[in-house]
């Protein structure tokens, strides 16, 4: 990140969007599994808890929260600071 060539983002890409993607996909798959495709044997295994449904809903919420966080607090580009600040020299 010391190279001044790229100007778009500080600290490579935004990990929060990757986490949002992961949990939204997992959440949707598990919720659908929980609603329609969890066998009685599967329910019995988990002591009657529909863990797919509950787990899926929680993951969906977590995924959406990560997306919102990234959306509302985007990474700020700090072009004003000197280049060598990236090495920690800017701390005083």
Partner 1 sequence: MNVLADANLRLDAGPVDYVLLGFYFVLVLGIGALARRSVSSSLDFFLSGRSMPAWVTGLAFISANLGAVEIFGMTANGAQYGVPTVHYYWIGAIPAMVFLGLVMMPFYYGSKVRSVPEFLLRRFGRFAHLVNSLSFALAQVLIAGVNLFALATVINLLLGWPTWVAIIVAAAVVLAYTTLGGLSAAIYNEVMQFFVIVAMLLPLTIVGLYKVGGWNGLVAKLTAANADASAELHSWPGSNLTGIANPVLSVIGLVFGLGFVLSFGYWTTNFAEVQRALSAKSMSAARRTPLIGAYPKTLIVLLIFIPGMIAAVISPELAKFKASGGTLDNGVTYNNTIELLIRDLLPNGMLGVAITGLVAAFMAGMAASVSSFNTVFTYDLWQTYVVKNKPDDYYLRTGRLITIVGCVIAIGTAFIAGQFNNIMDYLQTLFGFFNAPLFATFLLGMFWKRMTPMAGGIGLIVGTASAVTVDILNRTGVFELSGQGGAFVAASAAFIMDIVISVIVTLVTAPKPDSELVGLVWSLTPRDSLKHSDTGENAGWYRKPVVLGVGVLVLAAVLNVIFW
Which residues lie near partner 1 (CB under 8 A)?
Answer: 1-3, 5, 10-13, 15, 18-19, 21-23, 25-26, 29-30, 33-34, 37-39, 41-43, 45-49, 51-52, 55-56, 59, 62, 76, 86-92
- What is the Cα–Cα distance from 60 to 18, expressed in whole angstroms? 14
Q: What is the nearest approach in angstroms of partner 1 to the Cβ of residue 80?
A: 11
Nearer to partner 1, 64 or 86 (CB): 86
Residues 6+ apart with CB under 8 A from 68: none
């Amino acid at each position: 990140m010391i190279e001044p060539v790229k100007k778009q983002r500080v600290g490579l890409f935004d990990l929060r969007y990757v986490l949002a993607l992961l949990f939204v996909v997992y959440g949707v798959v598990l919720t659908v599994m929980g609603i329609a495709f969890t066998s009685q044997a599967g329910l019995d295994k988990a002591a009657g808890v529909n863990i797919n449904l509950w787990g899926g809903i929680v993951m969906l919420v977590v995924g959406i929260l990560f997306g919102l966080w990234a959306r509302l607090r985007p990474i700020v580009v700090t072009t004003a600071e000197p280049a060598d600040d990236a090495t920690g020299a800017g701390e005083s």
